[in-house]
Structure 1
Amino acid sequence: MMADLSTLPPALVVDDEPNIVELLAITLQGMGLAVIGAHSIAEAYARLGEATPSLCLTDLRLPDGSGIELVRRLHASHPQVPVAVITAYSSADGAVEAMQAGAFDYMAKPIELARLRRLVAQAVALSCPSPTETDGTRRLLGDSPVMQRLREDIRRVARSNAPVHITGESGTGKELAARAIHASGPRHDKPFVAVNCGAIPDGLLESELFGAEKGAYSGAVQRREGLFVAANGGTLFLDEIGDLPMMMQVKLLRAIQERSIRPLGSSREIALDVRIISATHRDLQEMVNDGSFRQDLRYRLDVVKLHMPPLRERLEDIPQLVEAILQRIGATPGGPPPRLPAGMLERLRLYTFPGNVRELENLLERSLALQHETFLPEEIFAVPGAAPADNAAPAPASGVAPASMDTAEAVLLRKILEQAGGDRHQAARLLDISLQSLEMRLHRLQVKEDA
């Protein structure tokens, strides 16, 4: 439920055109907000000296300077006040610079009243957060310093509509961070749509993202909505953005700049109100340098950077992660979750985890699949790459540490096949995977039942 707007401090509107100030004032007053107008940066500073506003709308081009100066001052002195900039189409780069300086959002001239009302409603939601609003960062486990800083960064960027680009190695939880940003911001009750850009065939990407009219291409027997429209009002998460083909990069750039899309085979434009979050494990600047990614698109996506730390930089979080993973994948109805044998946590902390949290999760899942009630640490947790510490316990004499994760998986598959009496259907059920997946793994690892 939205707060009583009449109790909010007045909104500050800064523009050197009196007609624009009047138009904005009429719209905001119609939404229950009082308005203070200013026609220059100096006048805006004077108004700020009188009272702290609930929100601020400012033009970028003012007679005595740039509106970005006002954005920076408000962001530094009143970080809780959302600031949106008003810009002409020709100064879209200025809007990106303003968001990097701390602006909540931007709006292009000529002003669309529907877009203005949505923007103001989101700004008001930031000014008056609901007392029952949940912290979306709680899903990011770990109390290490690097994770505490990450959660603080997420709470900060969640107060903006600026595009966020998340970097990090595979398995670090980039989608989890994107969901935390969405859940912590004013769009938390709107859709969150995730798409892996590398998992959709090139020929289907345009229709998947932007939609298509019936008959737009061979096989289009009905109208397709598209993921942008499905995410309208909320957040669209574009994972592995580096895998996007060059032609689709052009179309995505236009959608971000114009805040509208045109479905395949349609002549109509659909207005969008979508926050874009992208992610990749690749270096976009290197891709720009080698010509495989557009510089202008990188500039649009990389407004706010967020880096996911690898697990080797927060090994102190492993106990908490293990407990949560085992609770999720191994708890039985009415019974306690399985626990690691004594000493296993310390042995895990000796490992560098090139696959990060996803690899840790896979290790625990394979262990549970190998034996439902107990773990077999000699084979599952004699992990490669673990340099023994001076005080580390010696490796068990009963088993030899696998030379690689493939070797460890092959050991697991042989034991499961032996346990299933060579029945591959039963082995797949014990592993909780499909028969096809089991066959592929057996073929890749060259595992035979009589090995």
Structure 2
Amino acid sequence: MSIKHVLVVDDEPDICELLEITLARMGLEATSTGALQPARDLLETGSFDLCLTDMRLPDGDGLDLVRHIQAARPELPVAVITAHGSVDTAVQALKLGAFDFVSKPVDLKQLRELIDSALRMESTSPAPAASDTHPSAGKPPVDPESPLLGESGPMQQLRATIRKLARSQAPVFIAGESGSGKELVAREIHRLGPRADRPFVPVNCGAIPAELMESEFFGHRKGAFTGATQDHAGLFQAAEGGTLFLDEVADLPLAMQVKLLRAIQERAIKPVGGSREMPVDVRILSATHHDLERAVREGRFRQDLYYRLNVIELRVPPLRERDGDIPRLAAEMLQRISEQWGLEARRLAPDAMELLERHHFPGNVRELENILERAATLAEGPTIHASNVDLPASTPAPEDTGERRSPAQGNPPPELEERQTPPSVRYDDVGLDDHLADQERQAIETALHQTGGNRTAAARLLGLSFRQLRYRLKKLGIE
């Protein structure tokens, strides 16, 4: 196994010496230089696995070197050393493509973790496929382990962007409609990056009571409050060395936003009841289906936190923009549904497939799965026909919309938009699958009440078979 080689760029001899000693103790080889131009020359003639550069150099700055490496050696991870408190400069470096940053005075433990993460990228990155090296080979390669299915242009672009973002430690804000697969995207960024063997901790920010939020995020010490009978490790500690995914981050109360901002900037947390801060090493990914910029303008979300989370923004395409992906998605989902519920393998008839491909899908992939679950249960045999597919009445029927709208066609006229999303169903506030589940639960509970709990009679009242009703009771958790 060859020794890894690190290029150190800093004009302070004592910093260079400290870094060289640290690297040597890690079994790494180091080459040092004190200026920008010699560093460029070394990069042209030498072979390096990592570059550590100071921000302030006699003939330029670290940002110039980051730009140069991104243009000439994009596969080489580069980390910057910033002055204490220069978070804006560090964020700018991350936007340009830097792997990560460390602040002066250099914390050696943090530095070693950064170096270890950067050098792990080589072993965790997927091997390049033929089409990576030969553009004429056609479409970009598809990772067989990726759960992000589909060959449409937007999905190919999404997977390519994820591969690039996985090589950085920059915070990523994942924007997309409800049900489009934002958590899957976050898991892919984690899986393809150097933290893949460390924890991935997802948290729904809207599901934690405000009074428990600080303790859940940062932990607490024994005796910190009534009921704190022992020390509790928070979400940041649970994600140590890995990734913390903040889903529905727009739901964080303002008081918690301040504390989260400090934790991200200082890379340290203080448990409730604790006397000192503890360093933490986590990568932050966040997401929401709300318009976060609008929340900032309206004063519901802190602008400084927004800029810390949104160093890089990644948009997840809605299902209606993914032309041609529905057949593959539907086949995978039906296979999983059949196996999960012990049903005979289901398949879609051409008329059912045509119906789905013309549907608008305001609830995206999650709505497609919900529709297929119902259709698989309603079908009496292995083939699902259009008559088995129950599309929500809150979205336009195929005859009302004609062809499925592509992104190039732009937004629909206001009158059509009004038909698609009536005032009684606001998809930006309530997920479509949750709305449908509530309606279904209410109808079943009403039927059970009217029949005195007799399930056979309730099924007859609802126009269902007993097996179909039993499936719904289990799915909805109705006792």
Interval of TM-score (by shorter of Structure 1 and Structure 2) = 0.7 to 0.9
Q: Which residue of 2 aligns with 1:396?
A: none
Aligned-residue CA RMSD (Å): 3.1
Do residues 190 (structure 1) and 231 (structure 2) align? Answer: no
Instruction: State the Cα deviation string for residues 425-448 of structure 1 (Å, max 9, x = none).
Output: 98763215367x559xxxxxxxxx
Corresponding position of 1:369: 377
In the TM superposition, residue 382 of structure 1 has moved relative to its aligned partner by 5.0
CA distance in 1, matches of 2:403, 2:93: 54
C-alpha change, 1:367 and 1:434, in structure 2 (3 Å) is closer
TM-score (structure 2 length as normaliser)? 0.81
Counterparts in 2 of 1:109 and 1:136: CA distance versus 1, 3 Å: farther
User: Residue 85 in 1 paired to residue 80 in 2?
Assistant: yes
Name the CA distance, whole Å, in 2 between partners of 1:268 and 1:242.
28
Q: Is the 8 A contact 2:374 2:390 kept in 1?
A: no
How far the C-alpha of 1:342 sits from its partner, in A, is 2.9
Judged with a 3 Å threshold, the aligned counterparts in structure 2 of structure 1 residues 101 and 391 are, in CA distance, closer, same or farther, namely: closer
**Whole-Å separation in 2 of the counterparts to 1:411 and 1:233:** 42
1:421 corresponds in structure 2 to: 457
Work out the CA distance in 1 between the residues paired with 2:371 and 2:340: 19
Q: Which letter does structure 2 place at the counterpart of 1:322?
A: A
**2:228 alignment partner, one of 196, 220, 232:** 220
Distance 1:238 1:137, change over 3 A: farther
Deviations 1:270-303 (A, max 9, x none): 2111000000111222111111111111111001
The alignment-based identity, stated in percent, is 50
Matches within 5 A, 1:13-52: 13-52=8-47
The reply to whether residue 211 of structure 1 matches residue 229 of structure 2 is no
In the aligned structure 1, how far is the partner of 2:102 from the partner of 2:397?
Answer: 53
Distance 1:304 1:332, change over 3 A: closer
Q: Which amino acid aligns with 2:458?
A: G
Per-residue deviation, residues 201-258 of structure 1 (Å, max 9, x unmatched): 1111111111111221222222211111000010000000000000100000010011
SS at match of 1:36: strand
Q: What secondary structure, in the 3-state scheme, does the structure 2 residue paired with 1:430 have? A: helix
Alignment deviations for residues 321-373 of structure 1 (CA, whole Å, 9 cap, x no partner): 10111111112799862112232111111111000001001101122333464
For the residues of structure 2 that align with 1:361 and 1:263, how far apart are their CA atoms? 40
Paired residue type of 2:70:
H
- Shifted more, 262-271 versus 183-192: the winner is 262-271
Q: Which residue of 2 aligns with 1:443?
A: none
Aligned mates of 2:224, 2:243 — CA distance in 1: 27
Aligned match for 2:250, one of 236, 242, 247: 242
- The 1-side partners of 2:144 and 2:188 are apart by 4
Q: C-alpha displacement at 1:378, in angstroms?
A: 2.3
* 1:385 aligned residue: 396
| Structure-1-length-normalised TM-score | 0.86
- What is the CA–CA distance in structure 1 between the aligned matches of 2:467 and 2:52, rounded to whole Å? 64
Question: Aligned partners of 2:187, 2:306: CA distance in 1, in Å?
Answer: 21
- Matches of 1:412 and 1:292 in 2, distance apart? 33
- Give the Cα separation in 2 of the matches to 1:362 and 1:195: 23
State the match for 2:276 in structure 1.
268
Residues 282 and 81 of structure 1: CA distance in aligned 2, closer, same or farther (over 3 Å): same
- Is the contact made by 1:235 and 1:275 (CA closer than 8 Å) also made in structure 2? yes
How many residue pairs get aligned? The number is 423
- Unmatched segments (≥5 aa) in structure 1: 393-402, 440-451
